[in-house]
C-alpha cells in the first residue's frame, strides 16, 4: 500500500495560491473558494500532524531517562518532515495578510493571524522561527543536559536553563504549549466558518 505524502501537494498548492494572491484581481467569492478554502483544507492535515508532534512530546516525558536521546531523535525527525511545508505556508500567510489589509478585511486578517499563531514560539525570540524549533531546543536540554542548554543560550540568546531546570518545569511547558495549540486549532476552525458565511453565505 502506497504511503500518502501530505507535504508535496501542500507545497504545490501554496505555490499556486501565492500566484493567485499576486494577481490581486480575485473577487470575494473566488477569493474564498480559490484561496481561503483550499488553504484551510490543506492546512488541516498539516495542523493535525503538528498537534500529534506535541502530544507525542507529552507522552515521551514518561519514558525512562535512558530513552531520552532516542526520543530527541524522533522529535527532530517528526519536526523536519513538515519543515518545508511550514516555511511555504508562512510565505503565503504573509502575502495574504498584506492583501487582506489592503482590502480592509479585518475578519480575514484575524483568520490569517490565528494560523500564524499556531506556529509561533511560546518564548518569543526573533532567532527562533517556529514553535516546533523551540520544542526541539527544549528537548535537547532535556536529553543532553547543561552543555546543550549553554549552547542554545549562546545561539538563541534566551535562558533555557532558567525555564527548564527540572523535569517538572519541562512537563509544565509541554502541557501549556499543547493546550495552547489545541485552543489555536479550534480558533482557526471557528474563524474559517465565519469567513465562509461572510464570503459565500454558508
Using one digit for the tens of pLDDT, what is the confidence trace for 85-133?
Answer: 777 777 777 777 777 777 777 888 888 888 888 888 777 565 666 788 8
Q: Taking a C-beta distance cutoff of 8 angstroms, is the pair 202, 122 a contact?
A: no
Q: Which of 177, 24, 189 is nearest to 115 (CA)?
A: 189
Average pLDDT over residues 184-188: 91
Average pLDDT for the chain: 75
Task: Label residues 24-40 b or e (16+ Cβ within 10 Å = b).
Answer: eebeeeebbebbbbbbb
Q: How confident is the model at residue 151 (pLDDT cuts 50, 70, 90)?
A: low
Task: Kindly tell me if the per-residue pLDDT of 185 is higher than 80.
Answer: yes
What is the largest distance, in Å, between two alpha-carbon atoms of the chain?
58
Average pLDDT over residues 43-52: 84
Q: What is the pTM of this model?
A: 0.71
> CB neighbours of 157 closer than 8 A, spacing ≥ 6?
125, 127
Q: Which of 165, 172, 119 is nearest to 142 (CA)?
A: 165
The DSSP call for residue 35 is: I
The DSSP call for residue 4 is: P
Q: Taking a C-beta distance cutoff of 8 angstroms, is the pair 60, 75 a contact?
A: yes
Amino acid at each position: 500500500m502506497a504511503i500518502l505524502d501530505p507535504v508535496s501537494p501542500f507545497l504545490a498548492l501554496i505555490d499556486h495560491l501565492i500566484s493567485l494572491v499576486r494577481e490581486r484581481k480575485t473577487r470575494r467569492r473566488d477569493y474564498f473558494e480559490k484561496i481561503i478554502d483550499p488553504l484551510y483544507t490543506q492546512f488541516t492535515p498539516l495542523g493535525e500532524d503538528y498537534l500529534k508532534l506535541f502530544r507525542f512530546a507529552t507522552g515521551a516525558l514518561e519514558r525512562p531517562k535512558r530513552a531520552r536521546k532516542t526520543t530527541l531523535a524522533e522529535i527532530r525527525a517528526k519536526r523536519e518532515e513538515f519543515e518545508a511545508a511550514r516555511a511555504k505556508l508562512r510565505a503565503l500567510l504573509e502575502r495574504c495578510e498584506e492583501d487582506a489589509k489592503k482590502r480592509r478585511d479585518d475578519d480575514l486578517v484575524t483568520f490569517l493571524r490565528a494560523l500564524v499563531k499556531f506556529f509561533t514560539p511560546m518564548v518569543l525570540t526573533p532567532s527562533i522561527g517556529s514553535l516546533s524549533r523551540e520544542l526541539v531546543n527544549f528537548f535537547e536540554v532535556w536529553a543532553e543536559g547543561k552543555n546543550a542548554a549553554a549552547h542554545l543560550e549562546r545561539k538563541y540568546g534566551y535562558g533555557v536553563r532558567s525555564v527548564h531546570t527540572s523535569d517538572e518545569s519541562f512537563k509544565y511547558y509541554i502541557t501549556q504549549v499543547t493546550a495552547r495549540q489545541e485552543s489555536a486549532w479550534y480558533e482557526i476552525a471557528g474563524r474559517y466558518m465565519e469567513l465562509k458565511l461572510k464570503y459565500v453565505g454558508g
